Structure 1
Amino acid sequence: MFQILLQQMLTMLTLAIFGFALIKSKTLDSEGTRQISTILTMYVMPAAMIASFHTDFDLSRLKLFGWAAIAAFLTVLSRIFLNYFIFDKNDRIAKYSVTFPNSGFFGIPIVTALIGIEGVFFMTAFIMVTNVMQWTYGQTLISGNRHSMSIKKLFLNPAMIGATIGLFLFITQIALPPFIWKAVDSIAALNTSLAMIVIGSYLANSNFKEIFTSRPAYKAATMRLLITPLLAFIIIKLLPINNAEVELVLTIASVAPAAANTAILGRLFGGDYKYGARIVVLTSLISILTIPFMIQFAQFIYAL
């Protein structure tokens, strides 16, 4: 598994470098990056979620989906609790970056490489829960205003729509024509390439001196990539999941770098979005090294 993980991380790094080169060569500009990000978020990631539900109905699998959602909720709560003691009251961006991982951009490609698209079934449970928490607790955290929560975005964001459609098709077993599923699979296959090109564009537009000399960003990165995953491993171990596939998917979701929304929501709701962008880029770079080792360590803990 370590070799497969390392190969996948190197592949993702190469794609990120490609995205970096596209920006530096002016083949791609900021508007093009924004459009790719929109396509990825609005259509490609939801398509990957829907594709993961293209399987025969299995009640035991649906129960495991529920346990994955419970694990995700407990994991987020543990981070919120830990952040209270680690970060200053006003360091809202750091708290957000530690609480919410980039389980879509980073998690889905790794799960697909290790397990296949069917593994995204359980990643969808994690993404659904974190989306709900992002648009409630997360938005309130960054804005500092409890009344800023958007109920509309809570239910009508692309991840929730994709997950709802997928769950509906899985439970009802409505037979769609094969050409539709093939089209959905083809769109879903774009996820890894587009996600890493976007990450590469973040790198190209970043000030590396500011990224690598920011001590607060390193503190947030240590919490996001090393400390909070350990808490997640303990939670996963204690829950009665007893399924290696689900445990691996939840582990991958837990070791991912900071969510891109750390910068995006920071800009929308008055947070220090430049600081957020530094954390996103820093954790994305370091995670290429930490993810393979952390997943191997998690497997050791689960085997105890």
Structure 2
Amino acid sequence: MGAFKALYFNLLPYLCFIPVGYILSKRNMVPKAYINKPLLFVLLPILVVDKVLEASISNIAILAVISFSLSFLMQLPAVMVKHKMDVPMNINILKSSYAYFNVAFFGIPVVTALFGEEGITILICIYIGSALYGNILGYIQVAKSRYSTRKAVKEVFKVPFIYAISLGVILKIFNVELPEVMGSVSSVLGVVVSVAGMTIIGMSLTNIKFGTVSWGYYARILSIRVLAAVLIVVLLLSLEFWLVDGLCSEDRQVMALISLFPIAVNLAVFASFLKSWEEEAALLILFSTGLSLILVPSGAALLQFLIGHEMI
């Protein structure tokens, strides 16, 4: 129960902004562009640079590769679901919903609650691989739901993540350190980004008629997503253990929990920016977040039990 209480206590303030976003959009008080454009073009790039500079080189090499591989391999179950279940959703939106994991917005408060401040460093390394996929290949996928492949590839160059990650890597190579004040700025930005992301979800829900939503349809999609993610993470961590064995127990615990994380808010931000399948993206994020509020603390409790009894 301790894991549940700690998690809910840390996440509740952010989740409250989902209904706030809904009200703001429903009453036409704030245009959605006033939130998603600063989020996409200013706040996220600053956080990316800061996270790259904070991350440990030794862990980036392993955790970033594992998280990138997880996102990439999650396309396979998405394709299977599309063909086997005859899902009407656009295949590129479905692939992105399977491949995007909310490592930053959801992950920071979750890892802080479950592992303390040390867990954030691990999460940062995982975030880099996840963000590389989500903001480049993932963005192209979402863009293809509206544009041709050539146009979608051109669209990705409008997303500043490419330039932010390049700048971060260059600064890292030259051992450039940001001023100490950036630590406080980064903490504030992390909160602002999480709040803005949850607000975007709420704003994307305003035109949805919940009475007509097929709950079983979304439950099947998300159940398969969770099962596939768990199996893929187990496979990747097993390969890492057998071939490299460069991670500690806590590294593996955090990485294992990523498979239970909800769909990243990036899906709603990109869908909103591109005006493509916005309602479906918002519903998937909302339902997967609710599912993760149960699965993540349950998974954390299971891992602690298994480790405590030296079963893993």
Q: CA deviation at 1:202?
A: 4.4
Q: CA deviation at 1:65?
A: 0.6
Q: CA deviation at 1:136?
A: 3.8
Q: CA deviation at 1:70?
A: 2.0
Q: Distance in 2 between matches of 1:39 and 1:269?
A: 15
- Residue 229 (structure 1) aligned with residue 230 (structure 2): yes
Q: CA deviation at 1:62?
A: 1.4
The one of 130, 133, 155 equivalent to 1:129 is 133
Q: CA deviation at 1:8?
A: 2.6
Structure 2 residue aligned with 1:20: 19
Alpha carbons of structure 1 residues 250 and 26: separation in structure 2 relative to 1, 3 Å: same
Task: Decide whether the 8 Å contact of 2:97 with 2:281 is kept in 1.
Answer: yes
Q: Distance in 2 between matches of 1:271 and 1:175?
A: 39
The one of 61, 65, 72 equivalent to 1:66 is 61
Q: Distance in 1 between matches of 2:133 and 2:188?
A: 26
Task: Decide whether the 8 Å contact of 2:17 with 2:202 is kept in 1.
Answer: yes
- Residue 280 (structure 1) aligned with residue 282 (structure 2): no
Between 110-119 and 98-107, the greater mean CA deviation after superposition: 110-119
Q: Distance in 1 between matches of 2:72 and 2:181?
A: 41
- Normalized per residue, the structure richer in helix is 1
Q: How does 1:209-288 map to 2 (within 5 A)?
A: 209-211=211-213, 213-239=214-240, 240=244, 241-263=246-268, 265=270, 272-288=277-293
Q: Distance in 2 between matches of 1:149 and 1:161?
A: 17
Q: Distance in 1 between matches of 2:297 and 2:281?
A: 24
Q: Distance in 2 between matches of 1:107 and 1:115?
A: 12
Letter of the 1:208 counterpart: F
Q: CA deviation at 1:134?
A: 0.6
Show structure 2 runs of 5+ residues with no match. none
Task: Decide whether the 8 Å contact of 1:225 with 1:290 is kept in 2.
Answer: no
Between 127-136 and 23-32, the greater mean CA deviation after superposition: 23-32
Structure 2 residue aligned with 1:104: 104
- Residue 179 (structure 1) aligned with residue 197 (structure 2): no
Task: Decide whether the 8 Å contact of 1:103 with 1:259 is kept in 2.
Answer: yes
Alpha carbons of structure 1 residues 137 and 243: separation in structure 2 relative to 1, 3 Å: farther
Letter of the 2:291 counterpart: I
Task: Decide whether the 8 Å contact of 1:13 with 1:196 is kept in 2.
Answer: no
Deviations 1:20-55 (A, max 9, x none): 146448898463554233333333333333333455
Show structure 1 runs of 5+ residues with no match. none
Task: Decide whether the 8 Å contact of 2:96 with 2:267 is kept in 1.
Answer: yes
Q: Distance in 1 between matches of 2:290 and 2:102?
A: 13
- Residue 51 (structure 1) aligned with residue 50 (structure 2): yes
Alpha carbons of structure 1 residues 111 and 5: separation in structure 2 relative to 1, 3 Å: same
Q: Distance in 2 between matches of 1:177 and 1:263?
A: 33
Q: Distance in 2 between matches of 1:177 and 1:79?
A: 38
Deviations 1:54-94 (A, max 9, x none): 55x9xxx3132122232123213322222333322764133
Alpha carbons of structure 1 residues 275 and 169: separation in structure 2 relative to 1, 3 Å: same
Detail structure 1 runs of 4+ shifted over 6 Å in the superposition. 25-28, 267-270
**Could you say what secondary structure the match of 1:87 adopts?**
helix
Q: CA deviation at 1:238?
A: 2.2
Report the TM-score, using the length of structure 2 for normalisation: 0.75
CA RMSD of aligned residues (A): 3.7
Q: Distance in 2 between matches of 1:31 and 1:147?
A: 33
Letter of the 2:287 counterpart: L
- Residue 192 (structure 1) aligned with residue 197 (structure 2): no
Task: Decide whether the 8 Å contact of 1:18 with 1:197 is kept in 2.
Answer: yes
Report the TM-score, using the length of structure 1 for normalisation: 0.76
Q: Distance in 1 between matches of 2:62 and 2:218?
A: 32
Alpha carbons of structure 1 residues 277 and 174: separation in structure 2 relative to 1, 3 Å: closer
Q: Distance in 1 between matches of 2:153 and 2:222?
A: 28
Deviations 1:128-184 (A, max 9, x none): 2332221345544x3584333324625x62434443333333332224433345434
**Could you say what secondary structure the match of 2:176 adopts?**
coil
Alpha carbons of structure 1 residues 297 and 223: separation in structure 2 relative to 1, 3 Å: farther
Letter of the 2:194 counterpart: T
